Amino acid sequence: MDRLDTLQLFVRIVELGSFTLAAQAQGIPRATATHAIKALETRLGARLLARTTRQVRPTLDGQAFHARCLRVLQELDDAESALRATAESPRGTLRLDLHGVHATHIILPRIGEFHARHPRIELVISCGDRLVDLVGEGIDCVVRAGQPRDSTLVARRLANMPEILCASPDYLARHGTPQHPDELPAHQAVGFFSRGNASRYPFSVWRDGEIATFEASGWMSVSDAHSYTEAALAGCGLIQVPHFRVAPFLEAGTLVQVLPQWRCPELPVSVLYPFHRQLVPRLRVFVDWLTEIYAARFGLPRASD
């Protein structure tokens, strides 16, 4: 195997966690795959893969080498794409990292439409709320809620999502229903924090033409959207959340909106990607498709709330 084929094989082994599956995907015998990786490790003077009877995992050196392999293969693919007429039929692998709620509620339910439109693009999707290093991890783009903080990335606004304050009927029966935003600090809140930032996000509402924030006490904080809603359903406190995420619970009466006469600031959602990736055809068509489905769900985004 030549060096490029070996790099592609190594990436497949890491992604699939198996020599056998990776060899099948590459259309080569397993023995050939094993020999190629041993030769690669010998040439580099480093152990790249830790093998067990059940799974193959990259070592620390293997993780670093995998990230570099992804960049090399992506650059090569992009160079080839630039020489082919791919604008109308983009191809290649697109690696995405999606916020869990957006993946399960908005993007994945319609992902078949994107595949039907662009069948030559292979998607590799990771989901979660953690911060990712797009360049270091070989990620093409991420979808995130909140104001983008990384100025080194291109940010394209997808939507401004209406938010509400709500709590369970059990919580409101025990602690009372707030009638004014000034009462929020006396209530219990389910805290929400982002990984890498230990701060709890305060409640915020529009009042007298300005956004007013209110800190509330609480005995629980979480770092993912699903747990945030589940904690509210369990009566742990008030939450501030995009309306679409809790609409079924509001209809069922298991959550109740509070302070409906005070509008909450809308939550921006953006797709972010490195500057050097913005002209890649497969990324461009995916971002355009994301813009379409978010506009259909939430309307065209405004620059500010």
Q: What is the mean pLDDT of each run of 10 residues along the chain (305 residues)?
A: 89 90 89 93 92 85 91 79 62 88 91 95 83 74 84 88 97 96 94 68 90 91 89 97 95 97 94 79 92 93 59
What's the pLDDT score for residue 130?
A: 64
Q: Which two tokens stand for residue 176?
A: 């009372």
Place domain 163-265 in its CATH homologous superfamily.
Periplasmic binding protein-like II (3.40.190.10)
Q: What is the C-alpha to C-alpha distance for residues 223 and 267, in angstroms, rounded to an integer?
A: 17
Neighbours of 48 (CB within 10 A): 23
Q: Which CATH architecture has domain 3-65?
A: Orthogonal Bundle (1.10)
CB 224 within 8 A of CB 145: no
CB-based contact 171:219 (threshold 8 Å): no
- Secondary structure (3-state) at 207: strand
CA dist 140 and 129 (Å) reads 16
pLDDT on residue 199: 57
Q: Tell me whether domains 84-159+268-298 and 163-265 share a fold.
A: yes
The structural domains of the chain, with segments of one domain joined by +, span: 3-65, 84-159+268-298, 163-265
Predicted local confidence at residue 129, as pLDDT: 65
Under CATH, domain 84-159+268-298 is a member of which superfamily?
Answer: Periplasmic binding protein-like II (3.40.190.10)
Give the pLDDT score at 305: 45
Kindly report each contact of residues 62-71 with a partner whose C-beta sits within 8 Å and lies 24 or more positions away, as own/partner. Answer: 62/14, 65/10, 66/10, 66/11, 66/14, 67/136, 67/137, 67/138, 69/7, 69/10, 69/11, 70/11, 70/95, 70/137, 70/138, 71/135, 71/138
Alpha helices in 169-242 (DSSP H): 169-175, 225-233
C-beta separation of 58 from 72 below 8 A = no
Give me the amino acid identity at 76: L
Check residue 187 and give its pLDDT. Answer: 95
pTM equals 0.67
How confident is the model at residue 179, as a pLDDT? 96
pLDDT at 113: 96
